[in-house]
């Protein structure tokens, strides 16, 4: 390894696999409620799908920070 080069970290591939697993689990969770949500009026479905489409991103901030720094929270 050349002087001054950075050693690759295992956190990035592990974090990427974790993110993919999280997305997969989130999709299964939302899809499991689809029959119930589908019975609602379209205007009632809209906020549910907007919220579920945005909320899955919230836990990823810590994971992305961990992938870059090795810490879950900012210092």
What pLDDT was estimated at residue 25? 95
Higher model confidence: residue 9 or residue 13? 13
Band of residue 75 on the pLDDT scale cut at 50, 70, 90: low
Band of residue 70 on the pLDDT scale cut at 50, 70, 90: confident
Residue 75 lies in a domain: no
Beta carbons of 56 and 18 less than 8 angstroms apart:
no
Beta carbons of 46 and 53 less than 8 angstroms apart:
no
Average pLDDT, the chain: 88
Q: What is the pTM of this model?
A: 0.75
- Give residue 41's domain range: 11-69
Residue 33 lies in a domain: yes
22 Cβ neighbours under 8 A, 6+ residues apart? 56, 59, 60, 63
Residue 20 lies in a domain: yes
Number of domains in the chain: 1
Residue 17 lies in a domain: yes
């Amino acid at each position: 390894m050349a002087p001054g080069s950075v050693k690759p970290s295992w956190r990035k591939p592990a974090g990427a696999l974790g993110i993919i697993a999280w997305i997969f689990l989130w999709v299964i969770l939302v899809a499991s409620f689809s029959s119930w949500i589908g019975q609602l009026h379209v205007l009632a479905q809209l906020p549910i799908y907007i919220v579920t489409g945005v909320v899955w991103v919230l836990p990823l901030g810590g994971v992305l920070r961990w992938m870059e720094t090795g810490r879950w929270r900012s210092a």
